[in-house]
Structure 1
Amino acid sequence: MSKRLKFFLGHFTISVIITLIVLYLIFYVWYPAPLHQALGITHLTFMLLAIDVVIGPLFSWLVYKEDKKSLKFDLAVVILLQVSAFAYGFYTIAKGRPAWIVYDSLAFHIVRHSDIETSHLHLAKPEYQHPSWFKPQVVALLDTKDIQKIHPIPKFTISMDHPMYYTDLKNAKSKIGEIAFSVKDLTKFNSEKKIQQVLTEFPTADSWLGLSGLEQDMVVLINKETAEVIKIVELRPWH
Structure 2
Amino acid sequence: MFVTQSPLQSRLLAAGVHFGISVAIAALAATLVFFVWYPYPYREISGGRELFMIVVAVDVVMGPLLTLAVFNVKKATKVLRRDLVVIGLFQLAALAYGLWTVAVVRPVHLVFEIDRFRAVHAIEVPRDELGRAPAGLGTLPLTGPTLLSVRDFKDDKERSDITFEALAGLPLGARPGFWQRYDQGKPQVLARARPLEELKKRFPDRVSEIDAALKLASGGNGKVGSLGYIPMVGRKTFWTVLVDANTAEVIAFVPIDSF
Query: Which bin holds the TM-score, normalised by the shorter protein?
Result: 0.7 to 0.9
Partner of residue 195, structure 1: 210
**Aligned residue runs from structure 1 range 140-151, under 5 A:** 140-145=149-154
CA RMSD in angstroms comes to 2.6
Matched residue type, 2:145 = P
Tell me, yes or no, if structure 1 residue 20 matches structure 2 residue 35. Answer: no
Greater Rg by CA:
2
CA distance in 1, matches of 2:127, 2:183: 25
Identify which range, 29-38 or 116-125, moves more after superposition. 116-125
Write the distance in 2 (CA, Å) between the matches of 1:2 and 1:234: 52
Contact between 1:101 and 1:108, CA under 8 Å: does it hold in 2? yes
Return the match for 1:100 from 109, 121, 127. Answer: 109
Please show how residues 127-166 of structure 1 align to structure 2 within 5 Å: 127-145=136-154, 157-166=170-179
Q: Given the alignment of the two structures, is residue 206 of structure 1 paired with residue 227 of structure 2, yes or no?
A: yes
Name the CA shift for 1:94/1:159 in 2 (closer, same or farther; >3 Å): same
Distance in 1 (CA, whole Å) between partners of 2:237 and 2:119 is 11
TM-score (norm 1): 0.86
Q: TM-score, normalised by structure 2?
A: 0.80
Query: Take 2:143 and 2:226, find their aligned partners in 1: how far apart are those partners?
Result: 24
Residue in structure 1 matched with residue 73 of structure 2 by the alignment? 66
Say how many residue pairs are matched. 236
The answer on whether the counterparts of 1:209 and 1:237 sit within 8 Å (CA) in structure 2 is no
* C-alpha distance in structure 2 between counterparts of 1:78 and 1:148, whole Å: 58
1:22 and 1:166 map into 2 onto residues whose CA distance is 31
State how far apart, in whole Å, the 1-side matches of 2:36 and 2:69 are. 36
Contact persistence 2:244–2:251 (CA under 8 A): yes
Tell me which residue corresponds to 1:238. 258
Answer whether contact 1:139 1:167 (CA < 8 A) is retained: yes
Distance in 1 of aligned mates of 2:226 and 2:53:
33
Q: Which stretches in structure 1 are left out of the alignment for 5+ residues?
A: none
The reply on whether 1:171 has 2:184 as its aligned counterpart is yes
Instruction: Return the alpha-carbon distance in structure 2 between the equivalents of residues 134 and 148 of structure 1.
Output: 36
Match of 1:228 in 2: 249
State the distance in 2 between where 1:7 and 1:42 align: 29
- Residue number among 216, 223, 229 corresponding to 2:237 in the alignment: 216
Contact 2:112 2:149 in 1 (8 A): yes
Report if aligned partners of 2:117, 2:233 keep a CA contact under 8 Å in 1: yes
Structure 1 equivalent of residue 90 of structure 2: 81
The Cα offsets for residues 117-172 of structure 1, whole Å up to 9 and x where unpaired, read as 121322222311122211100100111127978xx769664432222211111112
Return closer, same or farther for 1:165/1:185 CA change in 2, 3 Å cut-off.
same
Unaligned runs of 5+ in 2: 4-9, 219-223
Calculate percent identity across the aligned residue pairs: 27
